[in-house]
Amino acid sequence: MEFGRSLMQREFCLEETSTHLNNASGAVPKKVFDYQISVMEERERNPEHWYRYVVNDRYMNAVAKVAEFIGCCKENLVLVETTTSGINAVAKAMSWEAGDAILCTDHTYGANINLVQHVAKENKGLDVIQMHIPLPLEHEDEVIKAYADVIEKSHKIKLAIIDHISSASAIMFPVKKLVDLCREKGVMTLIDGAHCPGQVQLDLENLGADYYIGNLHKWMFCPRGCALLWIHPSHHDTTHPIITSASIFHTNLQQRFSQQATRDPIPYLTAPKAIEFCLSLGGLDAIVARNSKLVKWAASMLSEAWTSTCLPIPISMRAPFMILIGLPDTKVTRQYELEAKELKCPTLMKVIYEKHRVFTAISYFMGKLWCRVSVQVHNCQEDYYKLRDAILDVLKDEP
């Protein structure tokens, strides 16, 4: 299968006048988009019939297809709008007591930090512990030790929110070892796998976590508003959607999540088509082999061009399709760093896009700015030369 520019032109809706190097919002193939539109048209021809007698069976079929693709029991899986909504469902359904604590890290996604702080505010006596992940890292065991030290010092931790691949830093955490550690210490685990479906081969039944949540609209070719939520059987009865609707008391987990008022569930129903597209490219193994090779090349080329380095972590902790590279050190860069401490780099990202039509992700930590380089099947080497030149132009020292 041919990847890159020709694939983008043939199979994707993306405009060719922009360079798409941040896959946070995903990219929907034409075949999936066309199917989405056809289902919308079908619904509008007879919405009463569709919502009453069609959508539930299609939702169940989509759950079964996703479960088959990722290799888990369909009985433990539901589909939700986003990773954020799934994490909300878990955190807000749990029973909290005074003295409990939620553990997260300084790499945890900002929306999740807001969530746990809100939950703590709503539950008197619930504490939030945000641990520091030391950088640079030479071995993943340093992360295991950091978790073990924090858990040992605080015996009140009830739930640990663990990134599988962190958003801002693109670190792939050793989730299996962390889940095993937490289980040994009596701590429940919620894995934020927002960037993992379509990028990492999942094995949720053997992972041993209490909950696993991941988007299907980032790397798995679904339209926006489609994510998976895997729930350990011991938590089926206590987990429910964040929207209280007619099915909230249903004894079946899938039925509880399948119909919540008259929302738009069509992104869920596209999941089988997205899986078909993935398989048409050779399957996940072929995509990983191709994308990981390109991201390795791009990292080397950009680091040399910017006289910079990649985030100092072991190769084993690098995400397959994402990597962080430090931006070149210039006077202009340092000005943006001062702004980024407060505003999380919105101006720089906007300037890069408006001047060069290149969209990339910029993050700030460890006292500097980093470019999160992403690779998807529609990207090619030319895209990263454009990124190289855009960064050098926007951040060059003024004459």
Question: Do residues 155 and 211 both lie within one domain?
Answer: yes
Whether 41 is covered by a domain: the verdict is no
| Tally of structural domains, the chain | 2
Question: Do residues 135 and 170 both lie within one domain?
Answer: yes
Whether 324 is covered by a domain: the verdict is yes
Whether 142 is covered by a domain: the verdict is yes
Question: Do residues 325 and 233 both lie within one domain?
Answer: no
Task: Give pLDDT, residue 187.
Answer: 97
Identify the domain boundary among 276, 310, 329.
Answer: 276
Question: Which CATH number does the domain housing residue 19 bear?
Answer: 3.90.1150.10
Q: Read off φ and ψ for residue 145, nearest 5 degrees.
A: -65, -40
How far apart, in whole angstroms, are the C-alpha atoms of residue 255 and residue 60?
9
Whether 293 is covered by a domain: the verdict is yes
Question: Do residues 50 and 155 both lie within one domain?
Answer: yes
Question: Do residues 262 and 292 both lie within one domain?
Answer: no
Question: Do residues 365 and 255 both lie within one domain?
Answer: no
Task: Give pLDDT, residue 2.
Answer: 85
- From the list 280, 278, 239, 246, the residue with the least C-alpha distance to 262 is 246
Q: Where are the beta strands (DSSP E) in the chain?
A: 19-20, 77-80, 101-105, 127-131, 157-163, 188-192, 211-215, 227-231, 322-326, 358-359, 361-365, 368-374
Query: What's the pLDDT tens digit per position in 362-392?
Result: 988 888 899 999 999 999 999 999 999 999 9
Residue 344 clears pLDDT 70, i.e. is over it:
no
Query: What's the pLDDT tens digit per position in 144-198?
Result: 999 999 999 987 999 999 999 999 899 999 999 999 999 999 999 999 999 999 9
Q: How many CB atoms lie within 10 A of CB 97?
A: 11
- From the list 168, 194, 164, 166, the residue with the least C-alpha distance to 177 is 164
How far apart, in whole angstroms, are the C-alpha atoms of residue 211 and residue 227?
13
Identify the domain boundary among 246, 276, 306.
Answer: 276
Question: Do residues 51 and 193 both lie within one domain?
Answer: yes
Query: What's the pLDDT tens digit per position in 37-64?
Result: 999 999 999 999 999 999 999 999 999 9
How does the average pLDDT of the chain come out, rounded? 94
Question: Do residues 73 and 166 both lie within one domain?
Answer: yes
Whether 139 is covered by a domain: the verdict is yes
Question: Do residues 173 and 265 both lie within one domain?
Answer: yes
Whether 234 is covered by a domain: the verdict is yes
Question: Do residues 301 and 384 both lie within one domain?
Answer: yes
- From the list 349, 275, 396, the residue with the least C-alpha distance to 22 is 349
Identify the domain boundary among 235, 250, 276.
Answer: 276
Question: Which CATH number does the domain housing residue 96 bear?
Answer: 3.40.640.10
Whether 384 is covered by a domain: the verdict is yes
pTM of the model: 0.96
Whether 35 is covered by a domain: the verdict is no
DSSP string, 100-126: -EEEEETTS-HHHHHHHHHHHHHSTT-
Burial call 355-377: b when 16+ CB within 10 Å, e when fewer:
ebebbbbbbbeeeebbbbbbbbb
Bridge partners of 325, per DSSP, are 310, 371
- Expressed as residue numbers, the domain containing 75 is 46-276
Cβ neighbours of residue 121 closer than 8 Å, sequence gap 6 or more = none
* DSSP annotation of 222: P
Query: What's the pLDDT tens digit per position in 63-115?
Result: 999 999 998 999 999 999 999 999 999 999 899 999 999 999 999 999 999 99
Question: Do residues 141 and 265 both lie within one domain?
Answer: yes
Residue 399 clears pLDDT 60, i.e. is over it:
no
Question: Do residues 375 and 251 both lie within one domain?
Answer: no
> How would you classify the pairing of strands 19-20 and 358-359?
parallel
Banded model confidence at residue 10, pLDDT cuts 50, 70, 90: very high
Task: Give pLDDT, residue 154.
Answer: 86
